[in-house]
Amino acid sequence: MLTAADSLPLTSGAGHHFVIVASRYNARYVDGMLEACLATLRLAGSSEPEVVYVPGAWEIPVAAVTVARRPARTPSAILCLGVILQGQTSHAQHIGDCVSDGLMRISVKFGVPVIHEVLTVTSEAQAEERCLHPRTNKGTEAARTALHMAELLAKLR
């Protein structure tokens, strides 16, 4: 199976600064994405990224915007990792919609790539496939996207 990450070459992370904002809620799955993300960034020669932990997906945008507006060192990309597991109500969809909107607004306002891997899944099986399986891990995809966007924006600037 071809994944979106397969379509992006592994570009160099040298000279780029990445920040990862990771939710502690559904930690088993988020940690799986985080490990894959860190491994991919290391493979690309990136310096060790800063990892910022937040309680849940809802808190990811406020941490991301705080990182984006830091005057000292703007990151090359902010990678946002979280898992929202659908329950019996529409609560998860509301959280997912608001987080998605917030992350897009941050990216456009500050001109910093905000990589959105805050997954809304309907089952534990979907979470396992996207977060724990080496071939389809969205953490790998997030890192490859961040590397690509950091390189692209450096060229465009």
Q: Half-sphere exposure (CA, 13 Å, Cβ side) for 102? A: 19
To the nearest 5 percent, what fractions of the chain are helix, strand and coil? 50, 20, 30
Instruction: Give start and end residues of each alpha helix (H) in 91-137.
Output: 91-110, 124-131
Whether 91 is a known active-site residue: answer: yes
Instruction: Choose the catalytic residue: 17, 91, 116, 148.
Output: 91
> Which of these, 1, 11, 21, lies nearest to 41 by C-alpha position?
11
Do the Cβ atoms of 19 and 52 come closer than 8 Å?
Answer: yes
Q: Pull the structure tokens for residue 103.
A: 């992350």
Q: Which residues are catalytic?
A: 91
